[in-house]
Structure 1
Amino acid sequence: MSIATNNIAFNVDEIRKDFPILNREVNGYPLVYFDNAATSQTPKQVMDAIVDYYSNYNANIHRGVHSLSQEATDKYEGARRKIQQHFNAEKAHEIIFTSGTTHGINLVASGFASILQKGDEILVSALEHHSNIVPWQMLCEKTGAVLKVIPMNEQGELIYESFEELVSEKTKMVFLNHVSNALGTINPIKKIIDKAHEKGAAVLIDGAQAAPHIKADVQALDVDFYVVSAHKMCGPTGVGVLYGKEEWLNKLPPYQGGGEMIATVSFEKTTYADLPHKFEAGTPNICGGIAFGAAIEYMNSIGFEAIARYEDELLDYATLKLQEIEGMKLYGTSREKTAVISFNIEGLHPYDIGTLVDKMGIAVRTGHHCAQPIMDFYKIPGTVRASFSFYNTKEEIDRFIEAVKKAKSMLS
């Protein structure tokens, strides 16, 4: 299938050649990988960047005067600039390398421990991953701040009117995801950011699930913090970024102490380095950062508009096909959503379905997807989640549907 965009043809068959893992078999069947919301697959262009680093200029960065160190530093800081440009941050030092989304959220939560006071309020949405719930609960325990929850409806959408009622001058921070990992719902984050700012609250957006599908412009959003992980975007595991407005990053204290984040050290007093190094203690995941830059380049070479259009086609196709299965119930039916389908079949446990389709070479996720409050809302133990990427095909969806039908007949 081809989609024309900016005079470049989107050809899924050609794209699939970039992903060696898609050629393997699982349990005697060609792999169908529908667990992209957990982690995306890695193209050879990103693997080449990893091999190139360890083969040709593996060295520690920033502190060395020798050539390898300087080359590694240039590549690492070049990756930071690529990420800055992708998210349209105003300044490169507003991009902080982290180990992933969870690290970025915890960094901000730790910083706000010195800002929040007893009785202050912070808002989190009912659609959050545990990583965007637990750090704020811990923060409330430390500070005496109060955590309030923006509720959701049966379609898996946030109830904006309830948010308007909850947010007030007492609200110091609002946290929510751009896209729900469990349901695929795209939240109206711009509207929420603007309303929160009217009340003087800062906003952190968990962009982990949005970043593979949506090119977020942090300046247009006017968001205070935006966090992502590379492994959702065709990059390696163990690396991500926190975007933060310079004014906020300057207000927050360092998250960790050690090398690189200091300006001067004596036994009497230590002064801290300027951004971004203030938040990047120790030797970073140099190769990971460089590979993240390569992944950003790769996805932009395909084009996010083309990716979104193609994935929407996959979502619509899979939704129609699944609805033909008797007893099937979809969770998360928001009009605005990414290519994620969560479902159950009446009388069957999602784990059993996932186990059986795996025997047919199909990888899906089952369980509560680190979003237990969502499952509690629907009064279910979990769901089967199929999440698609731009390298998946309708033919793979057909195989998936047949596998689900077969699993149903075996379990009924």
Structure 2
Amino acid sequence: MTLIQEKTLGDKVRSDFPILHQEVNGHPLVYLDNAATSQKPQVVIDALRNYYEGYNSNVHRGVHTLSAKATDEYEAARQKVVKFVNAASYQEIIYTRNASEAVNLVAYSWGLNNIKAGDEIILSVMEHHSNLVPWQMLAQRTGAVLKFVELTETQTFDLEQFKSLISTQTKLVSVVHVSNVLGCINPVEDICKIAHENGAKVLIDACQSLPHMPVDVQAMDCDWLVGSGHKMCAPTGIGFLYGKLEILNAMSPFLGGGEMIDEVYLDRFTYGELPHKFEAGTPAIGEAIALGAAVDYLMGIGMDKIHAYEQEMTAYLFEKLKDIPELTIYGPKPQADGSGRAALASFTAGEIHANDLSTLLNDVGIAIRSGHHCTQPLHQYLNVNGSARVSFYFYNTREEVDVFVTQLKETIAFFNQMFS
């Protein structure tokens, strides 16, 4: 009797994503570049289209039917994000264009008013440029000192070094939750606790964690957290900033203009209440509504289920990759069950350039990333010019892992023959 194998999560949801069902260069698409951006389910595409086809109108500024519906849907999406990260209030969620804008909002609105010469900002060597350059710019303007947490021998966040770096001069700690290169999951609750014990505020870059695992800002006790919609099944052009209510209330507006005001006179203005005082101008209305649809979709599956499935995929991937001796994989090794790191692997293959690997894999329909992944300082720290990166999401399957590993072996063998 033939046993019918139970469908995995990846098998069950693939039909929800129209883009996955195509050929690239005559081969079925194997999309493994999810750390750069995720694909969008039909319900998110429909939400964006429905806004523009059915009730396109500006929010908060009209009493007519279309404006009222747009406003209701726009603010309903904010409430969904509130629930998704377990914020205490809708006033703690600020819509931004992306996570980079959210970090800059904090740097300019809070940083310029609270950081002075000699104050310390602690980052890590694994930070994405979006969580590095704004603080470099702030330090240049204020005379603040940047300090960097390095890596342990297993290429994880060095918590003991962090404890030695932090001092009464530390005003801010800004670190990534999950590294987009190393795949390590940083101990953010411990980081927040230690920082607060020393009087410092904490910002968490959650772009690589929000799409893949449950995130609870109250349990984490961070002061700010930033997220990017396009990595979590939502459109590009929409992200958000979470901030504790009392901190956001004390911060001055980031941008001036319409929407963020209360009253305006020729010689002065008063700004509106949260969250609107940080949302100047016409926002990305359709994108925000579609972000709400993406949150509904993810929560409908369950972030626990997504995380558990991706751990299984991680274990399977690393079991397959260990048979390729040419590979150097960066970041910690996963546990036997795939826990302990994200579902991605950044690697080099001897003298083969990462771009060459990526190009030949693309020839057979496999999409991976190559380069420095917006982490040039980390690659300098690792003493590599660049790396190739394969990154998974819950719609990927074991069969795609098999295709990728088979083609990777053949690609490496091709280059080895060329070099010999």
Q: What letter matches 1:371 in structure 2? A: T
Is 2:9–2:394's contact at 8 Å kept on the other side of the alignment?
Answer: no
Structural mapping, 1:369-408, within 5 Å: 369-408=373-412
Q: Which residue of 1 aligns with 2:337?
A: none
Residues in 2 aligned to 1:390 and 1:262: alpha-carbon distance in whole angstroms: 41
Residue in structure 2 matched with residue 274 of structure 1 by the alignment? 273
Establish whether residue 27 from structure 1 lines up as the match of residue 17 from structure 2. no
Shift of 1:334: 4.9
Q: In 2, distance between residues paired with 1:338 and 1:171?
A: 29
Q: Kindly indicate whether the alpha-carbon contact (under 8 Å) linking 2:9 and 2:395 is maintained by their aligned counterparts in 1.
A: no
Match of 1:47 in 2: 45
Q: TM-score, normalised by structure 2?
A: 0.95
Find 2:66's aligned residue among 68, 79, 85: 68
Deviation of the 1:2 alpha carbon: 4.8
Q: 88, 92, 104: which one pairs with 2:102? A: 104
Shift of 1:125: 1.1
**Distance in structure 1 (CA, Å) of the matches to 2:98 and 2:214:** 18
Name the aligned partner's letter for residue 410 of structure 1.
F
Mapped contact 1:83–1:293 kept (Cα < 8 A): yes
Amino acid across the alignment from 1:361: G
Q: Structure 2 CA distance, aligned partners of 1:156 and 1:101?
A: 25
Deviates more, 1:402-411 or 1:16-25: 402-411
Shift of 1:14: 2.5
Map 1:18-167; keep pairs closer than 5 Å: 18-111=16-109, 112-167=111-166
Residue correspondences, number: 406
The alpha-carbon deviation at position 77 of structure 1 amounts to 0.3
Structure 1 pair 2–246 and aligned structure 2 pair: CA distance change class (3 A): farther
- Residue of structure 2 equivalent to 1:196: 195
- 2:117 maps to a residue whose letter is K
Identity of matched residues, %: 49
Cα shift at 1:293:
0.4
C-alpha displacement of 1:251 = 1.6
Instruction: Kindly provide the CA deviation profile for residues 151-210 of structure 1, in whole angstroms up to 9, marking residues without a partner as x.
Output: 112422011111001111111000001000112110000000000000111000000000
1:232 and 1:209 map into 2 onto residues whose CA distance is 8
Q: Shift of the alpha carbon at 1:114?
A: 1.4
For 1:363, which of 367, 373, 397 is the aligned residue?
367
Is the 2:9–2:309 Cα contact (8 Å) retained in structure 1? no
Query: Could you tell me how far apart the structure 2 residues matched to 1:31 and 1:407 are?
Result: 17
Tell me by how many angstroms 1:310 deviates: 1.0
Paired residue type of 1:84:
V
Partner Cα distance (2:114, 2:393) in 1: 40
Aligned amino acid, residue 129 of structure 2: H
Equivalent AA in structure 1 for residue 33 of structure 2: D
The RMSD of aligned alpha carbons is 1.1
Given that residues 112 and 138 in structure 2 are in contact (C-alpha distance below 8 angstroms), is that contact kept between their aligned partners in structure 1? yes
- Partner of 2:113, secondary structure, is coil
Rounded to whole Å, the distance in 2 between the matches of 1:194 and 1:260 is 36
Residue 253 of structure 2 corresponds to 254
Matched residue, 1:221? 220
The amino acid that maps onto 1:211 is: L
Distance 2:154 2:290 in 1: 37
TM-score, with normalisation over the residues of structure 1?
0.97
1:6 match: none
Whether the 8 Å CA contact 2:314–2:344 is kept in 1: the answer is: yes
CA separation in 2, counterparts of 1:2 and 1:206? 36
CA distance in 1, matches of 2:300, 2:262: 39
Deviations 1:244-268 (A, max 9, x none): 0011111211111100011111121
CA distance in 2, matches of 1:249, 1:404: 48
Counterpart contact for 1:157–1:334, Cα < 8 Å: no
Task: State the one-letter code of the partner of 2:381.
Answer: F
CA distance in 2, matches of 1:292, 1:87: 13
In 2: Cα distance, 1:155 partner to 1:319 partner: 16
Secondary structure at the counterpart of residue 264 of structure 1: strand
What is the distance in 2 between the residues matched to 1:163 and 1:326? 34
Maintained 8 Å contact 1:156/1:334: no
Q: Distance in 2 between matches of 1:216 and 1:399?
A: 32
1:305: how far off? 1.2
Secondary structure of residue in 2 paired with 1:300: helix
1:200 alignment partner, SS class = coil
Aligned with 1:176: secondary structure? strand
Q: Secondary structure at the match of 1:215?
A: coil
- Deviations, residues 57-111 of structure 1 (Å, cap 9, x unaligned): 1000001010100000000000000100111100001100000110100000001
Report the counterpart of residue 244 of structure 1 in structure 2: 243
Measure how far apart 1:13 and its partner are. 2.1
Q: State the one-letter code of the partner of 2:363.
A: K
The answer for the alignment partner of 1:233 in structure 2 is: 232
Partners in 2 of 1:245 and 1:390 — Cα distance? 31
What secondary structure, in the 3-state scheme, does the structure 1 residue paired with 2:38 have? coil
| Counterpart position of 2:309 | 310
Amino acid paired to 2:53: S
Structure 1 window deviating more from structure 2 (194-203 vs 370-379): it is 370-379
Other structure's SS at 2:328 match: strand
